Amino acid sequence: MSKNLAFDSSAIKKGPLLFVMILGAFIAVLNQTIMSVALPGLMIDFNIEASTAQWLTTGYMLVNGVLIPITAFLMQRFTTRELFQASMVIFLGGTVVSAIASNFDVLLAGRLIQAAGAGIIMPLLMNVILTVFPPNKRGAAMGMVGFAIIFAPAIGPTIAGYVIEHFSWRTMFYGMIPLVVIVIVVAFIFLKNVAERAYPKIDILSILLSTIGFGTVLYGFSSAGSKGWSSEEVILSIVTGVVALILFTWRQLVSKSPLLDLRAFKYSMFSLTTIINIAVTMVMYADMMLLPLYLQNARGYTALESGLLMLPGALLMGVMMPVTGKLFDRFGAKWLSIIGMAITIVTTIGFVNLTDSTSYTYLVLMSTGRRFGMAMFLMPITTAGLNQLPARLNAHGTAISNTIKQVAGAIGTSLLVTVMANRTKTHLLDMVAGGTGNMTKEHILMEASIQGINDAYLVIIGIGVVGLVLSFFIKRTEQAEEIAETSTTTRINVNRNTVSET
C-alpha cells in the first residue's frame, strides 16, 4: 500500500515556488542549445570530427529522452523539494565537470551528467502546476513555463555566439555555476512539497525496456541525418527501439503499478493534443535548425549574427507566453491554436523561396512572425490535454507529454536533415546537367544547398497543415473525476461531457 503525506496546497506560496522552479527550468533548457555554435571551435580545440562533436548535443538529448519516462515514478517516490534540489545538484556537478574538462571525453561526460539533472526538471515543474492550480488558472501559469521552454533555447545561440567570439567556450559553463548555486539556495528556502507522496514499487523490467526503447529510437533517428536511413546501425537501432517500446507498452498496460501509465490515452483530448504536439514540435524545429544552417553555411553570417536574427522573435515570445496563457484560461485552446497555426504556416511560406540575396531584415520579420504564431498555441495545446486528466495521472501525463516531444524533436530533426540533404543532391545534379555557365563550384554548391533548405521548409508547411486541421477538433473538457468505490482501489470515472468552444 502507498503511504501518503497529506498536504495543503492552499497554504503554498505559489509565486516564490514558480519563480524558483521556472528559473531552474530556464537554466536547464538554455544549456540544451548553447553548444550548437560552439561545436566548430571545439572540433579544432580537441581535434575531432563533426560527427564526434555532435554527441555533445545528441548525447544530451538521449539522456533526457531516457530519463523523462522515469520521472513519473520519481515524482511519486520523492518530495518536490527533494527531487528538484537533487536534479539541480546533479546539473551543477555536470556543469563543473564540463567547465574544467581537459579533453573531449570529460566534456561529454559533463554534458551527460547535466542532462541527467535537466531531464527531471521540466516534467516536475509541469506536474507542480497541475497540482497547485485549478484547471481554470493553469493557462497563465503554463504561459510562464512556456517562457522558459521557448525563450531560453531561442536566446541560447545569441549568448553562446557572443561568448565564443570574445571568450573561451569554458566561460559558458563557468557562468552557469553561480546561477545554479543561487537556484539551489533559494529552493532550499522557498520550495515546499506540493503533492501526496507515495511509495510505488519499482519495476526494473519497465525501466530497462524504457531505457532501451527510447534510447535506441532516439539514437537511430538522431544518427539518420548524418549516416543515412539505409545505414545498418540506424536501421538496427530503430528496430530494436520499436520492439522494446512495444514490450514496454504491453508491460505498462498489464501492470498494476505502471512506470508510465499509458491509460492516460483513454482521455480523448489528451490523445488528440499529444498528436498535435508531435506536429507542433516538428514545426518548431524549422527555425531552430534550418535557419542557422541557411544563415551560416549558405550566406556566411557569423554565429552571433545568426543568433541575433532570432532574438526579436524570442523576445516577442517571452512577452506573448503569459498573455496567451491568460487567453487560454478565458477562451480555451481551440481558436488560439487555429489562429496561431495559421500565422505560423503563412510566415513559413515566406521561407520556401530563399535565395543568396534574401535580405536580413526580411528574415528577421518572417522569423519573428513564426515565433508570434507559435507563442499562441504551444502551451495552450499541452495544457488543454493535461487539464482533462484526473489528479492521479498528472505525473504520468506530464512525463508522457515531455517524452513525446523529445521523440518528435529527434524525428523532426532527422527528417528535415534528410530532406535537405537529399534535395540538395538532386538540385546539384540538375544544375550540373542543365549547365552552370560561369558559376564557380562554391556558388553551385551554395545554390543547391539553399534549394534543399527551401524544400525542407515545404515539408514543415505540410506538417503544420496537419496540425492546423487537427486543431479544429479541440474541445474544452472538464477534468475527469476520481471516485472511491467500496473496494480499497480507486477507479477513474471518465467525464465524457465535452463543451464545444466558442
DSSP letters of 92-125?
HHHHHHHHT-SSHHHHHHHHHHHHHHHHHHHHHH
Could you give the 3-state DSSP secondary structure of residue 499? strand
Same domain, 171 and 224: no
* pLDDT value at residue 337: 93
CA atoms of 305 and 360, how far apart (whole Å): 10
In a domain, 366, yes or no: yes
Same domain, 176 and 156: yes
Measured in degrees and rounded to the nearest 5, phi and psi for residue 490 equal -110, 130
Same domain, 14 and 152: yes
Q: What is the Cα gyration radius of the chain?
A: 23
Under a CB-based contact definition with an 8 Å cutoff, are residues 155 and 35 in contact? no
Find the helix or strand (DSSP H, E) in which 430 lies: helix 394-434
Residue 344's nearest CA partner among 259, 429, 471 is: 471
In a domain, 162, yes or no: yes
* pLDDT value at residue 501: 42
Same domain, 99 and 16: yes
In a domain, 306, yes or no: yes
Same domain, 376 and 272: yes
Q: Using DSSP, how many helices (H) and how many strands (E) does the chain show?
A: 19, 4
339 CB-contact burial (10 Å; exposed 0-12 / middle 13-18 / buried 19+): middle
Same domain, 158 and 302: no
In a domain, 261, yes or no: no
Length of the chain: 502
Contacts (Cβ under 8 Å, ≥6 apart) of 432:
444
* pLDDT value at residue 144: 75
* Grid cell for residue 444: 553551385
Same domain, 226 and 111: no
CA atoms of 227 and 396, how far apart (whole Å): 34
Q: How many domains does the chain have?
A: 3
* pLDDT value at residue 492: 39
In a domain, 65, yes or no: yes
CATH code, 457: 1.20.1250.20
Other C-beta atoms lying within 10 Å of the C-beta of residue 216: 22
In a domain, 262, yes or no: no
Q: Please give the distance of CA 256 from its chain centroid, rounded to a whole number.
A: 30
Beta strands in 14-172 (DSSP E): none
Residue ending a domain, choose from 156, 177, 200:
200
Residue 62's nearest CA partner among 176, 191, 210, 205 is: 210
Measured in degrees and rounded to the nearest 5, phi and psi for residue 266 equal -70, -15
Same domain, 227 and 302: no
Under a CB-based contact definition with an 8 Å cutoff, are residues 141 and 18 in contact? yes
Contacts (Cβ under 8 Å, ≥6 apart) of 147:
22, 26, 317, 318, 321, 322
End-to-end Cα, the chain, rounded Å: 45
Residue ending a domain, choose from 180, 200, 220:
200
Domain that holds residue 89: 1-200
In a domain, 24, yes or no: yes
* pLDDT value at residue 472: 94
Q: Give Dmax (Cα) for the chain.
A: 85
The Cα-based distances of 7 to 392, 450, 491 in angstroms read: 15, 57, 22
Same domain, 425 and 501: yes
The answer, as to whether pTM is greater than 0.85, is: no
Beta bridge pairs of residue 481: 493
pLDDT, one tens digit for every residue, the chain (502 residues): 344 444 455 556 777 788 888 888 888 878 777 776 677 678 778 887 766 777 787 777 778 778 878 887 888 788 888 889 999 999 999 999 999 988 889 999 999 999 888 888 888 888 888 778 877 777 777 777 777 776 776 677 777 777 877 888 888 889 889 999 998 998 888 777 776 666 777 788 888 998 898 888 888 887 776 677 788 988 999 999 999 999 999 998 888 878 888 888 989 999 999 999 999 888 887 667 788 778 877 888 876 787 788 788 878 887 888 888 888 888 888 999 999 999 999 999 989 989 888 999 999 999 999 989 988 888 889 888 888 888 788 878 888 888 888 778 777 877 887 788 888 888 888 888 777 667 777 788 888 888 988 999 999 999 999 999 999 999 888 776 654 433 333 333 444 444 444 3
Measured in degrees and rounded to the nearest 5, phi and psi for residue 491 equal -105, 160
CA atoms of 396 and 131, how far apart (whole Å): 13
DSSP label of 129: H
The residue type of 440 is T
CA atoms of 336 and 395, how far apart (whole Å): 26
Under a CB-based contact definition with an 8 Å cutoff, are residues 215 and 267 in contact? no
In a domain, 176, yes or no: yes
Contacts (Cβ under 8 Å, ≥6 apart) of 407:
65, 214, 217, 218, 221
The Cα-based distances of 410 to 58, 280, 346, 401 in angstroms read: 9, 13, 25, 15
Same domain, 324 and 471: yes
CA atoms of 74 and 261, how far apart (whole Å): 13
Same domain, 226 and 349: no
Other C-beta atoms lying within 10 Å of the C-beta of residue 229: 16
454-485 burial, b at 16+ Cβ within 10 Å, e below that, comes to bbbbebbbebbebbbebbeebbbbebbeeeee
Residue ending a domain, choose from 200, 228, 243:
200
Under a CB-based contact definition with an 8 Å cutoff, are residues 248 and 209 in contact? yes
- In SS3 terms, 259-320 reads as CCCHHHHHCHHHHHHHHHHHHHHHHHHHHHHHHHHHHHHHCCCCHHHHHHHHHHHHHHHHHH
Same domain, 469 and 418: yes
* pLDDT value at residue 323: 87
